[in-house]
Structure 1
Amino acid sequence: MRLRCRGFCSSSSACLRSSCSRRASGCFTGRILNMEEIVTAGQAETRRKKAKVKRGVKISVSYFFLVLLLVFFLFPFFFMFFKSFMGDKESYSLPVRFFPSSFTLTAYKAVLDVTLLQYFKNTLFVIVFNAIAVPLSASLCAYGFTRVKFQGSEFVFAIVLATIMLPSIVIQIPLYVIFNSFGWIGTLYPLTIPNIFGGGAVNIFLIRQFMRGIPKDIENSAKIDGANSWTIYWRIILPLCMPIITFIIVNTFLGTWNDFMGPLIYLAGKPENYTLAIGIYYKFMGGLSMKNYPNQQMAVGVLMVIPPSIIFFIFQRQLIEGVTFGGLKG
């Protein structure tokens, strides 16, 4: 019995020693693993902090250069703005001053005369006419290329797109000869009537791409209800194309408002028909004289900038959506 007990006790004690050693080794291994995890977590946190610092430095440098570019591009506008509020003598005095000694509206009172209002009236007429004619004619052409299938439609559309590659200066002489034969030189007809015929290849392309994204099931349902092609275009397709139509209207406004070459070529010698761009050039951009101070030139420049800026800030979302839809639809 003693041997058995001794054997039993010795074996049990060995088991206890082995289990204790295993536990100790397990605890030691666990401690090593815990230490490794702590070190790894610390290294990961250090890397995250470094990455955060690098990202912050990169963003700060980017904003710094963006602010520099902003100042660079806005400096001429602010110079023009503050110059327009100077007095006549102060506007051309040396050294050049950035801020006026006292704000005055003398320049604005001098430039806002009957002649400038006549220029504005002519410009407004051209803008309203083109803002209606360009999107309407371009959408009609795009509807024909998209929904009306005829033989050679793709070839004709390719020819229309090919006209984009023609520089506008190349066709100025032929157009001048044609308009002169019609007796249109010196009138507003060359700036308005041609826009009835197509509205431009780029506008046709943009509206066509947008129309290709409109499901044909809508038109088929309208045809079942008895609608003809004109009804489908006017009451279904055109309202659905309003995002791209708005984009074209705004671009037409900006292009007409800033157009200088067209009036310069076709309105020569007819001051009563001048638009703002060409009228301001002839009236205010001559040499320095008693009626042509720098503050008046700057005041006219500020007046010319205000309407396009307002239009852009009001319709900037439509402009972005128009470009996106025009490029992705179809």
Structure 2
Amino acid sequence: MERINYTVLTEFILTGVPHPPRLRTFLFVFFLLIYILTQLGNALILITVCADTQLHARPMYIFLGALSVIDMGISTIIVPRLMMNFTPGIKPIPFGGCVAQLYFYHFLGSSQCFLYTTMAYDRYLAICQPLRYPVLMSAKLSILLVAGAWVAGSIHGAIQAILTFRLPYCGPNQVDYFFCDIPAVLKLACADTTVNELVTFVDIGVVVASCFSLILLSYIYIIRAILRIRTADGRRRAFSTCGAHVTIVTVYYVPCAFIYLRPDSHSILDGAAALFPTAITPFLNPLIYTLRNQEVKLALRRMVGSQSTKSEV
């Protein structure tokens, strides 16, 4: 039996996002600003939720704080590496770094998916069963749900990383993408990837489809409950509590479905779509939740006011 000798790869080269060379500096500065504002915005929400006594014990804001941590993590593992592609020279990523990036992206991304579903359930209880809400959704239960989302996300990320990197990689080492993700990395495997592609499609498809279906079901009941509210002001306030969540879910799920539920696609649009869950959505989350949420804005004013009072004293 003939033995095949593989040269094991020790690094990958990420090609990045296709762009005209003259825009290299502009794109570097643009994503640098996106990254800085993402970290500052999410850190501000996290500090506000933790510091304000009226927010940190309420389930909705516990979920919002956890979402900020996830957004900061996703942005950190993707955007700085993306920015390096807009600087001169080839900057390879070590094999272990590629494994870590793929794992943490799918760990945090799936945790975010589960968290969005939990947030939809929280809104369902708050609007459809307001009298029983304090009993059904306590601060302790919300913390357990967040922990469950993180555990499930870590298992999902580990499965995807193990399945992807159990295959031999012997060259070429150029990943036609701006980060180490499953479809792009599998193209470089020196083995049949049919099983991997099928498992990825089924696994991610089940997670995305089940979470999205539960969110959709929650909002069907929410809309029915809102339409039964007699006053226009009551309906407006009920819709406003869900508007931010619906917006973010749409921005998150549509690109993910476009990327992962078309396993045979090699469209250049995949890279553009992937910028939404990796760079744009983490940047938009704090803006949407602070601009549309009166309680967060009031908490920010209270925090700023207390700091001003302390400085005067």
The TM tier, using the shorter chain, reads: under 0.3
Q: What TM-score results when the alignment is normalised by the length of structure 1?
A: 0.26
Q: What TM-score results when the alignment is normalised by the length of structure 2?
A: 0.27
Larger radius of gyration: 1
